[in-house]
Amino acid sequence: MEDSGRPTVGEYMTRDVATVDLDDTVAEVAKRIAESDDFSGFPVTDGRHVEGFVSARDLLLAEGHEPMFRVMTEDIIVAAPEMAVQDAARVILRSGIQKLPVVDDAGNLVGIISNADVIRSQIERATPDKVEKLSRTLANIHDITTHDERRMVDLAALTPTQPTVYADELEGRVYELERGLAEPLVVIDNDGHLYLADGHHRVKAAERLDIRAMEANVIVLDETVELGMAKTATEAGLECIGDIEVVDYARHPLVQTTERLQE
């Protein structure tokens, strides 16, 4: 079961999905693609059940009279409505596709999620709620008071608290930063020592783009305390953004999970 605090595919997917039928011909579908700027491919359905996906590339070498069931890609990757948007984003980036059909447990089409939907979910994240929850937790654990500030922070002054980031998700954060779409960082100010609590992929993306400062929601501790995350950072040898390792895997396990939905 997904964490209820994370945005899901069902919340951000497009529900009104254009599809083609198994018996539609290459000529008919190619005409739809050529006459619209919105489509580069379609889910192929039998009723509402997803049978495959056809892209403009699939049509290139096919004869105009051939039906979709002969030219479509059958082994497709799909998402489920309850899947976390962040996980769907990793699948999209890993697979190199632009859109994921979203299906229910019976394999029926209920929506489609695209790169644009993923970006929208990132922008609309409830950052204030995230900051409030962390601020309240710190105050309770250390028996102190805190206050929040919104300010630009020098990235060179940040101490990371997470040793690794995913290469595929990093590409998504680079994409967002290039378009000015990234949400603020979450930083803890402990007597002038700045610890990065949330936004490790974003700061690594900023490093790649040579961005020196970013907007942050800063939780200021009104008393100096010994933070557990500071100890973790020290033990992991984390002193600056450059110490965060970018890890990549040949095949993300989530891709296998979505493929199994087709079985």
Q: Which of 123-132, 191-200, 247-256 has the highest mean pLDDT?
A: 191-200
CB-based burial label for 100 (10 Å; 0-12, 13-18, 19+): buried
User: What class has domain 126-247?
Assistant: alpha beta
Question: What's the Rg (C-alpha) of the chain?
Answer: 22
**C-alpha closest to that of 115 among 190, 30, 194, 176:** 176
| Per-residue model confidence (pLDDT) at position 94 | 75
| CATH number of the 9-121 domain | 3.10.580.10
- Euclidean distance between CA atoms 67 and 29, whole angstroms: 10
Q: What is the mean pLDDT of the chain?
A: 87
CA 127 to chain centre: 15
pLDDT band at 25 (very low <50, low <70, confident <90, very high): very high
Q: In this predicted model, what pLDDT tens digit does every residue of 158-175 receive, in sequence order?
A: 999 999 998 888 888 898
- pLDDT for 240 beyond 90: yes
* Per-residue pLDDT tens digits for 84-121: 888 888 888 777 777 889 999 999 999 999 877 776 66
Q: What residue ranges in 88-209 does DSSP mark as E strands? A: 99-103, 109-114, 146-154, 158-159, 164-166, 185-190, 193-198
173-198 burial code (b ≥16 CB/10 A, e <16): bbbbbeeeebbbbbbbbbeeebbbbb
pLDDT for position 241: 97
Print burial letters for 209-232: b (CB count within 10 Å at least 16), e (below 16): eeeeebebbbbbbeeebebebbee
pLDDT of residue 3: 44
Q: Where are the domains of the chain?
A: 9-121, 126-247
pLDDT at 41 over 70: yes
Please tell me the predicted confidence (pLDDT) of residue 95.
76
pTM above 0.85, yes or no: no
How many CA atoms lie less than 13 Å away from 60 in the CB half-sphere? 5
Percent of the residues in the chain that have a pLDDT greater than 90, as a whole number: 58
248 Cα distance to chain centroid: 16
Q: Residue 12: what pLDDT?
A: 86
Judging by beta carbons within 10 Å of its beta carbon (0-12, 13-18, 19+), is residue 81 exposed, middle or buried? middle
User: Stretch 41-64: mean pLDDT, rounded?
Assistant: 92
Same fold, 9-121 and 126-247: no
- Both ends of the chain: CA-CA distance in Å? 20
Q: Which residues pair with 52 in a beta bridge?
A: 44
